[in-house]
Amino acid sequence: MKIASWNVNSLNVRLPHLQQWLGTFAPDVVGIQETKLEDHKFPDAALAAAGYRSVFCGQKTYNGVAILSRSLALDVQMGIPGFDDVQQRVIAATVDGVRIVNLYVVNGQDVDTDKYAYKLRWLAAVHDWLAQELQKYPQLVVLGDFNIAPDARDVHDPSVWNEHHILTSTAERAALEKLLALGLHDAFRLHHDDAEQFSWWDYRQAGFRRNLGLRIDLTLVSDALRARAVESGIDREPRTWERPSDHAPAWVRLVEASA
- Catalytic residue numbers? 104, 145, 247
Binding site for Mg(2+), residues? 7, 34, 145, 147, 246-247
| d(C-alpha 129, C-alpha 107), whole Å | 20
Which residue type, as a one-letter code, is found at position 247? Answer: H
DSSP-derived secondary structure letter, 5: E
Looking at the DSSP bridge assignments, the partners of residue 56 are 66
Q: Residue 72: which H helix or E strand, with range? A: none
**C-alpha distances in Å from residue 259, one per residue of 24, 130, 256:** 31, 28, 9
Can you tell me the distance from the alpha carbon of 147 to that of 159, in angstroms, rounded to the nearest whole number?
18
**Cα distance between residue 188 and residue 155, in whole Å:** 15
* Residue 207 phi, psi dihedral angles, 5° rounding: -55, -45
Q: How far apart are CA 215 and CA 234, in angstroms?
A: 9
